Structure 1
Amino acid sequence: MPVQPSPEDLSVILTRIGLEVESLEKFESVKGSLEGLVIGEVLTAVQHPNADKLKLTTVNTGGPEPLNIVCGAPNVAVGQKVVVAPIGATIYPLSGEPMTMKKAKIRGEESQGMICAEDEIGLGSSHAGILVLDAALQPGTPAREIFKPVQDWIYEIGLTPNRMDAMSHIGVARDVCAYYNNLENTRQYQAKLPVIPELPKAATPLSISVSVENTAACPRYAGVSITGVQTAPSPDWLRNKLLAIGVRPINNIVDITNFILHETGQPLHAFNADAITGSKVIVKNLPAGTPFVTLDGKERKLDAADLMICNGNSEPMCIAGVFGGLHSGVTDTTHNIFLESACFTGTGIRASSFRHGLRTDAATRFEKGVDISNAVFVLQRAAALICELAGGKIASEITDVYPQAKPKTEVTATWAYIKKLSGKEYSKEKISNILASLGFEILAETPEHLKVNVPYSKPDISIPADIVEEIMRIDGLDNVEIPSQVLITPAITARPDRETVREKIAGYLAGNGFNEIFTNSITNSKYFTPEVLERTVKMINNLSADLDVMRPSMLETGLESIAYNLNRKNEDLLFFEFGKTYATTGQGQYQETEHLCLYLTGRKRPESWLYEAAPVDFYFMKGYVGNVLAQLGIRSLQWAELEVDGLQFAWQINGNGQALVQLGAVSGPRLKQFDIKQPVWFADINWQAVLAALPKKDTFYSEIPKFPAVRRDLALVLDKQVRFADVEAAARTVKSSLLQHINLFDVFESEKLGANKRSYAVSFTFQDTQKTLTDKEIDAVMDKLVKTFETQLQAQIRK
């Protein structure tokens, strides 16, 4: 006996068995379903005393007293049967907001409702006058009984990519039946398939032969000829079914194929049989570059890997499983069709679909896999509807090219494995019942294991874990008991823990005003030079023309985010991103590198009454990079100038014998590439190298020294090419535990210093944690520093 759960109950059931209902909406072919509207009879119609274009009417709506209604329609007349919206009823016009009827006075006369035009209640687009109905209708009859507006419920299901079996109404119904069978411990519930009636035969046969040259890409191809077809708009029931699921009705032939696609999950294609030259269909590949005009009127150059449906002259008529051709499609003048129901391999369909940018419903289903056993049944179902709704007659036997029947997948799972993976002790009877209800064939049951044949409708199932998933979802994931005790083995993780380090740095940056971004690791090849692209990983089946390579650099995707924000007047940006870059040195040889990147642009300090605005600059970026490394305990860094594509004023920070960071200003040409008109600073931290450079020991805090620090200053006259980094490096060669800090606090240039000379004012901070320093101890270290600067840097000490 059929069961009819309420929409809310069915929503819960679907979610429980793994078909998560994301929304549940009521569909109405007529908004409001004419609720509260009734049939009325116009008893009187006289001129309104205060308005030339209005009439005063009395209308019998089946109540004890007729209603007084002011009507402005030019065609209202005594004796008409009309649609009336009485007080309290709500109407839903095709345009405008819903309106609830209230008692009103119009030009001084009372009006107790409204006599409706068809556009005012959603039945049509005409507003020429009120809707006049059959004179035999009885006043007081609800309007919904006359017009019978369709109501339905639409379930929006968030399917996971592997659930091809649930991409059809019959597939979902099969799961619901399995749920009820499990609930009641029975096998009586089954999805009811449409009955195929005896089909009318055409007096004159139309034979079209089929040849499949590429059986690997097309393992099964079925077709049938239908003549005498009359292309016309579909009946209301079919139009409403399609509108309910968001499909636009076109004509009866196209609508039938779309309807069956969603009903069964099997794509169909109808050809104009008169356009099939040679009365022959050939499934084959054509040479690369062959031109083909698709249904949208565009000429496309075919790839040698595109599987094509061709006519007897090997001329292309359709990209198999993807999109039809302009010259073989069904039109309003088509009377003879050849209907195709085929199975194509998913990998080839997906490649062709992306290659030509044609993401159709058919391609989506073929690339996930269709039920190969269903091809002929679906063909018969579609042919029956075409004969019923389009007046067609069957003009040939069904052709079914299926040279090698696909074997069913065998899966064996032990009872112990099912218990271990699910965490629940299922009875063998329950497991068998669930699997049989889903279409699995039980091959063997032993004390140790269960062997089944997987139905063709579930091509994603191939391993024991898949069987366990089917059992668990039909029985209900919420039926797996949560144990009262959780027994775990303590895990030993390598130190430092990568995730902890990453979280620490992310927390530091976020706490300092940075926003974390996540950009696509697939990007556009046009951003990069031919030299870079030689080492870049290219997509075989790229998602679009703009997303065709794995990014070799993090800079470009970050600039996309900056440009997006700048275009929306969000101009002060501090971004950070953890991500990966990719490279290749040959076939099968790939490198994946982790990065932490910082992006700065705009102002580091907005203007106020207290101080002027200050833009981000190199030292602002340098400070954050230095703080990130300091947070991780990485010190003893070496700075080196760098020339790198895309950056100017670039530097590289080395530590632990390898490059850790590259930073600098994004170059003008690169900014122009993204239409960015303000400076951007970029730092690329090699996260893998940073993790390798982390100290192996914990960093402990120490108490604040009790003894004071002492500062001494030196003014060093040096050649201009000597950098402060060289001064700092030379100072560190003086091995002294007393020297705590070195700082550059002034830079001076003058002709008095000499040609090509510069003066650095440098402070040195000394401190001993055990005692107060004496001048003698400090002077000794200062003497060593002076000698080092004079020897290594040829410095002159300014007195």
Structure 2
Amino acid sequence: MTISYNWLCDYLPVQPSPEELSVILTRIGLEVESLEKFETVKGSLEGLVIGEVLTVAKHPNADKLSVTTVNVGGDTPLHIVCGAPNVAAGQKVVVAPIGATIYPASGEPLTMKKAKIRGEESEGMICAEDEIGLGSSHAGIMVLDSALQPGTPAREVFSLVQDWVYEIGLTPNRMDAMSHIGVARDVCAYLNNVEGSARYQVQLPAVKELPKADTPLPITVTVENTAACPRYAGISITGVQTGPSPDWLRNKLAAIGVRPINNIVDITNFILHETGQPLHAFDADQIAGNKVIVKNLPAGTPFITLDEKERKLDAADLMICNGNGEGMCIAGVFGGLHSGVTDATHNIFLESACFSGGGIRATSFRHGLRTDAATRFEKGVDISNTVFVLQRAAALICELAGGRIASDIIDVYPQPKPKVEVKSTWAYIKKLSGKDYSEDKISNILSWLGFEILERTAEFLRVSVPYSKTDISIPADLVEEVMRIDGLDNVEIPAQVRITPSITAKPDQENIREKVAGYLSDNGFYEIFTNSITNSKYFSPEVLERTVKMINNLSADLDVMRPSMLETGLESIAHNLNRRNENLLFFEFGKTYATTGVGQYQETQHLSLYLTGAKRPESWLYKAAPVDFYFLKGYVGNVLARLNITNLQWAELETAGLDAAWQIKAGNKALVTLGAVSAAKLKQFDIKQAVWFADFNWESVLAALPKKDTFYSEIPKFPAVRRDLALVLDKQVRFADVEAAAKTVKAPLLQHINLFDVFESEKLGANKRSYAVSFTFLDTQKTLTDKEIDTVMDKLIKAFETQLQAQIRK
């Protein structure tokens, strides 16, 4: 939310400094995120003065230059070299003397220094309008009113505006502060609380008597959907002359970043940011039948909006229609192309209405139209302010655009909205706030904010909530209002804090996640966060059958909740590869989504690894080697090892999107799927290098964690013993089969099995290969003997020969 200091002070009975006001706003919960200076002209002509040209002579060394003397109000005239063709004696001009800084309309700022130009000294510059940011003309120097006095500061002559602009980090519930008057109301309440008085009141703008038109222009209003539009007001204004707004209005809008357009549009924008109430102006001559009908149109009805795009309406979209039932405006969201105000408009119908927040929000997202008006309506506007705002805007249109009122105010308000009532005990306010406020302070603060005290006893307080505070509904909301205005930094910090220690269930999921993330980042991985909403074109029809589809998708490319982590990660990889960042190690914690029917949805938590490019950068010592399956397998295994998950089973797997995929299980639960991303999937993202992917089912990983704590033990004092075997096996026998056969031998002394060499040769026989396997033995209680080790090795050899038909190479 952007607030102008000058604009805000229009409604305040006092004028604190910009810095003081910044502190006040932050204290009352309107946190100031930035405070920046605004100037209608950069530099505000600081240091520039009015000068009188006394003499003009031809430069002795340049045909297009003149040597002038200029009186700037000092003891002696300035000697200035000027290149303008229109400089003449007797002119009043803008002078930038030595030391002044000018800010051209284009280009960098320039500070004046004493200089020699073709041999003649120059003590400044006589300025053209583009040289000081006042315009774009460079035809010659500016020639001013002859009545001006030399030495007058230039900023006084041109009435430049300086302002301070606050960027407020507004919380979503604070609709009442989405306007300058709303912020002023909070500031006045704060000042009253500081002084303990009620003398600070918001200075509301007065509405002058409106001039009447000679010829009436009656327009009738019918509201068919009163649930979506509980109040609708309007007025006809004729004789309007559309044109530029006056400087004061243009400056106020420009200060908060709103581009001035014309006087009618600027007035509606001004009222929006002054009061928080959106308005809409129709070209009255385009309203067929002089009737305005607020209703819903059939689904699929085409409607062309102001941006010249045709949109298909939904049956739930509320529309402002003409007498023929044709749409003129998407209510509270966006105007239509053919009914808006143009330069040719002379008669307007001005709308001030209150629309249902939920309906406006749904329509706004449905059509991708996130306008200022929609933002206000979806949070709730002050329904009691509808007519006042209409009168205020109509008065400005009459004053600035020459309009005259051609109808009575139409106010369709069939069921006046009752005020919300909230009751709270004094004890509850003290308990929730942590501060013992006096009953009078609480009552006064609420009164200054517009609450009406309905009942006050020794135990409780009952109030009615002003219509401007649509978020207030429960006692806790009252506590927040009191704490804000009294100052959140005024809540005392107790000398002692008593808490009950929390007990975290084991395993602590956050600690586990942090542990894994730390390991991966320490090993060169970068964590990514991708959008859980993705594009349905990435997936097959079979996958889309169980995919959660967006009803109000943000765009055509974001229409489903992701059923897989792979695709959004590949988007990130493609983004990096397109920018020549080719060696990538990514990891991501995220969710996938699925459905089996309406109301039946599943979320699954994942950890995904994405690897592509080289294992290590190329150097004189090492050649660049691409990442491969074993590189990925190592990180996957290390993650599981750090979590102390053991007894893993590996199995080959066929799955969409991956080639040569494997699945790791613990017991009957699948923990990880890993493999190379298929060529077809890479082609979808225009990726031309191999990508390796591992997907941890994080929920299964957490379920597989050991239930008992892990304890450390001292290093054994007795040595381990290693024995090696060379096993000749059929090629289809995997090392996992060797491990499985070894585990059938119940040998507590066997600590570790490792494959350290693979050999293939015709000498071994057809379809044969040799595995060189090491076996490590250890007894923590004593030194092992050869006899004990030989006994276990004999059992292992027998198991390999009988289960795997292995031949032992001698």
- For the aligned pair, the TM-score class normalised by the smaller chain equals over 0.9
d(CA) in 2 for partners of 1:119 and 1:655? 75
Q: CA deviation at 1:752?
A: 4.4
Backbone CA RMSD of aligned residues: 1.6
d(CA) in 2 for partners of 1:508 and 1:614? 23
Number of residue pairs aligned between Structure 1 and Structure 2: 799
Partner deviation per Cα, 1:758-786 (whole Å, 9 max, x = no partner): 33232222121112222222222222222
Q: CA deviation at 1:416?
A: 1.9
Partner of 1:597: 608
Q: CA deviation at 1:216?
A: 1.4
d(CA) in 2 for partners of 1:521 and 1:449? 47
The amino acid that maps onto 1:188 is: R
Asked if 1:451 is matched to 2:447, the reply is no
The amino acid that maps onto 1:761 is: A
Cα contact 1:186–1:433 (8 A) shared by 2: no
Q: In 2 relative to 1, CA 186–546 (structure 1 residues): closer, same or farther, beyond 3 Å?
A: farther
Q: CA deviation at 1:754?
A: 4.2
Greater shift after overlay, 11-20 or 753-762?
A: 753-762
Q: 1:511 aligns with which of 522, 525, 534?
A: 522
3-state SS of 2:450 partner: coil
d(CA) in 2 for partners of 1:33 and 1:633? 68
d(CA) in 2 for partners of 1:526 and 1:436? 57
Partner of 1:546: 557
3-state SS of 1:125 partner: coil
d(CA) in 2 for partners of 1:673 and 1:137? 71
Partner of 1:176: 187
Q: 1:673 aligns with which of 675, 679, 684?
A: 684
Q: CA deviation at 1:430?
A: 1.1
Q: 1:345 aligns with which of 356, 363, 379?
A: 356
d(CA) in 2 for partners of 1:414 and 1:669? 66
Partner of 2:9: none
Partner of 1:624: 635
Greater shift after overlay, 356-365 or 559-568?
A: 559-568
Partner of 1:526: 537
d(CA) in 2 for partners of 1:246 and 1:317? 28
Partner of 1:202: 213
Q: CA deviation at 1:394?
A: 0.5
d(CA) in 1 for partners of 2:452 and 2:679? 67
Partner of 1:114: 125
Q: List aligned pairs for 1:279-358, cutoff 5 A.
A: 279-358=290-369
Partner deviation per Cα, 1:120-169 (whole Å, 9 max, x = no partner): 12221111111111222222222222211111111111112222111111
Q: CA deviation at 1:191?
A: 1.6
Partner of 1:8: 19
Asked if 1:434 is matched to 2:445, the reply is yes
Asked if 1:784 is matched to 2:795, the reply is yes
Asked if 1:40 is matched to 2:51, the reply is yes
Asked if 1:371 is matched to 2:382, the reply is yes
Partner of 1:55: 66
Partner of 1:720: 731
3-state SS of 1:132 partner: coil
d(CA) in 2 for partners of 1:778 and 1:373? 93
Asked if 1:161 is matched to 2:172, the reply is yes
d(CA) in 2 for partners of 1:462 and 1:579? 36
3-state SS of 1:114 partner: strand
Partner of 1:495: 506
Cα contact 1:18–1:473 (8 A) shared by 2: yes
Partner of 2:264: 253
d(CA) in 2 for partners of 1:501 and 1:300? 49
Asked if 1:213 is matched to 2:250, the reply is no
Q: 1:700 aligns with which of 704, 707, 711?
A: 711
Cα contact 2:13–2:201 (8 A) shared by 1: no
TM-score relative to the length of structure 2: 0.96
Q: In 2 relative to 1, CA 190–541 (structure 1 residues): closer, same or farther, beyond 3 Å?
A: farther
The amino acid that maps onto 1:197 is: K
Partner deviation per Cα, 1:532-569 (whole Å, 9 max, x = no partner): 22222223332333323222222222222222222222
Structure 1 moving runs of 4+ over 6 Å: none
Partner of 2:486: 475
d(CA) in 1 for partners of 2:339 and 2:696? 57
d(CA) in 2 for partners of 1:674 and 1:372? 51
Partner of 2:4: none
Partner of 1:797: 808
Q: CA deviation at 1:708?
A: 2.2
d(CA) in 1 for partners of 2:610 and 2:787? 48
Q: 2:154 aligns with which of 121, 124, 143?
A: 143
d(CA) in 1 for partners of 2:689 and 2:677? 10
3-state SS of 2:133 partner: coil
Partner of 1:642: 653
d(CA) in 2 for partners of 1:671 and 1:567? 14
The amino acid that maps onto 2:518 is: G
d(CA) in 2 for partners of 1:30 and 1:214? 49
The amino acid that maps onto 1:656 is: G
Partner of 2:8: none
Q: CA deviation at 1:388?
A: 0.2
d(CA) in 2 for partners of 1:415 and 1:653? 61
The amino acid that maps onto 1:727 is: V
Asked if 1:760 is matched to 2:756, the reply is no
Partner of 2:247: 236
Partner of 1:557: 568
Cα contact 2:281–2:340 (8 A) shared by 1: yes
d(CA) in 1 for partners of 2:211 and 2:800? 105
3-state SS of 1:609 partner: coil
The amino acid that maps onto 1:333 is: A
Partner of 1:461: 472
Cα contact 1:29–1:151 (8 A) shared by 2: yes
**Structure 1 residues not aligned, in runs of 5+:** none
d(CA) in 1 for partners of 2:748 and 2:309? 77
Q: CA deviation at 1:798?
A: 3.6
Cα contact 1:354–1:544 (8 A) shared by 2: no
d(CA) in 1 for partners of 2:307 and 2:499? 60
The amino acid that maps onto 2:154 is: A
Greater shift after overlay, 302-311 or 56-65?
A: 56-65
d(CA) in 2 for partners of 1:164 and 1:549? 31
Q: 2:702 aligns with which of 688, 691, 698?
A: 691
Partner of 2:666: 655
**Structure 2 residues not aligned, in runs of 5+:** 1-11
Q: In 2 relative to 1, CA 411–530 (structure 1 residues): closer, same or farther, beyond 3 Å?
A: farther
The amino acid that maps onto 1:682 is: F
